[in-house]
Amino acid sequence: MNPYEERIYQGFKNELKLYYCGKRIKNRGHSFGPYDRNTYLLYYIKEGSATLISNGCKKEISARGFFVNFPNSQNIYYTNNNSFWSIKWIVVEGAIIENYLSLLDISRDKPFVQLTDSNDIEYLFDEMYENFDKSTLSSKIYCVSLIHKLFSLLSEKVSLLKTENKYIITALDIIGRDFQNPDFNVNTLSKMMGLHYNYFSILFKRETGISPKKAINDCRIKNACKMLKFTDNSVKNISLKCGFSDEFYFSRNFKKVMKVSPTEYRKCEEYLS
């Protein structure tokens, strides 16, 4: 099977111009850029990953991601370690595309959006590919409608991502504020957020890479380190101020994270200073 296919659009030319669409399936060693055309390249990543260089900054982009090559951009992307990836794309032009992207906060500086649920986005790219080179009036109108539908779905997903991001920012603020309370845990945190325990735990780990339980514990240990270094408080007093009701549990927990006991950590800091 040819890993690279492209189809030409023979439809309307108005404020939204469609040029062509294509796909690469399990393509190895793929690279592209800089992009020196006056059109927008809209990409959906089905599988695999690559490095995107945008405005001199490197970013890893991966499956279920949407990204844009803006007109005459200096963006470059390439697959990592000669690995394969599968991507689909649509080439469009028009002021309405610029407006849509601006409203979604997708820009030359931030051309990539990582999606969590993207089956409907992939379906639109597939539908576009199947109908792009058809000459019937209904197919031409359908292709134009698919572009608008694409941005409608992206708007919903970006809005959801922003909402979820706000949840994480709020949760981290609460952890930093309430870690001293020994009764503060993931259960109380999820209730404060108004979210189900399981949903909140999955969301938090997906967005931060660690569980909320670990985030709370890390915050407590981090603040314990500061107090051991900058105060003369006893280990027992520090454990209480950092949300540990049991000094011995605190010491075991501290050593598990920091690889030394609280007392050894304090001595080491005193020696280094």
**Burial letters for 162-172: b for 16+ Cβ neighbours within 10 Å, e otherwise?**
eeeeebbeebe
**Closest of 224, 226, 251 to residue 238, by C-alpha:** 224
Q: Which two tokens stand for residue 101?
A: 């992207």
Q: 75 near 42, Cβ under 8 Å? A: no
Which residue, chain included where needed, has tokens 């504020």? 177
Closest by CA to 58, choosing from 39, 78, 42, is 78
Distance of CA 201 to the CA centre of its chain: 17
pLDDT tens-digit series, residues 223-265: 999 999 999 999 999 999 999 999 999 999 999 999 999 999 9
The Cα–Cα gap between 253 and 263 comes to 13
The three-class DSSP label of residue 24 is: strand
The candidate with the shortest Cα–Cα distance to 49, out of 30, 73, 68, is 30
Contact 111, 67 (CB under 8 A): yes
How many other CB atoms are there within 10 angstroms of residue 249's CB atom?
11
- Which residue stretches of the chain are H helix? 95-103, 119-131, 137-178, 186-193, 197-208, 212-230, 235-241, 247-258, 262-272
- Concatenate the DSSP letters of all residues of 154-173 into one string: HHHHHHHHHHHHHHHHHHHH
pLDDT at 9: 53
Q: In whole angstroms, how far apart are CA 2 and each of 27, 93, 273?
A: 9, 27, 64
pTM of the model: 0.64
Confidence (pLDDT) at 268: 84
Q: Is the peptide bond preceding residue 212 cis, with omega within 30 degrees of 0? A: no
What average pLDDT score do residues 209-217 get?
93
Q: Over the chain, what is the mean pLDDT?
A: 88
Q: pLDDT class for 136, splitting at 50, 70, 90?
A: confident
pLDDT at 95 over 70: yes
